[in-house]
A = this chain, B = another copy of it.
Amino acid sequence: MRGRNQQHWQGQFMGCGYRMTKPREEILGVMEKTMDHLSAEDIYLAVHKFYPNIGLTTIYRNLELLVKMELIVKFEFGQGKAKYELADQYSKKEHHHHLVCKKCSRIFDYSDFMEKEVRFLKDTEKGLSKKYDFQITKHLIQFYGYCNKCQKK
């Protein structure tokens, strides 16, 4: 089950003295195939189907590594467990942010209104990093509320 990024990933691992192992291949494979936001346990269960020997520890360890390598991104939506997505450049999805439903906990991606956002972020990051001498590496923009099904109309 080789994804289209397989070659590239192999190179990334090797280049850093890491190895392309079965668990890593499966984790990335699962993430490549889904449009969802998966928790460590979700990934564990999915990988477990093809590779029943996998340990939950291995999932956590590799998720941490993959985040460090910037192949995937970790999100916290205030739901008690972290969720993971493939990094933009490896994903079928465009660059996006999230709407989080406070009732059903579903996450909705959106890629709209990005021109405005990009302008806002550019200006703000520039201003902040100068004023506070703070080197910004990442921003987080999320909206919380009630989705279509969960709002009382």
* A interface, CB within 8 angstroms of B: 76, 78, 99, 101-102, 108, 110, 112-113, 116-117, 119-120, 123-125, 127-129, 131-148, 151
Contacts and interface: CB of A to CB of B under 8 A. Distances in A.
Nearest to A142: B140
Interface of A is mostly: mixed
A113 B146 CA distance: 28
Contacts of A139: 141-144
A135 to B, nearest CB: 4
**Which of A124, A133, A148 lies at the interface centre, i.e. has the most chain B CB atoms within 10 A of its CB?**
A124
Copies in the complex: 2
Query: Which 3 A-B pairs have CB atoms at the shortest separation, nearest pair first?
Result: A120-B120, A136-B145, A138-B144
A132 B108 contact: yes
Nearest to A101: B134
A39 to B, nearest CB: 15
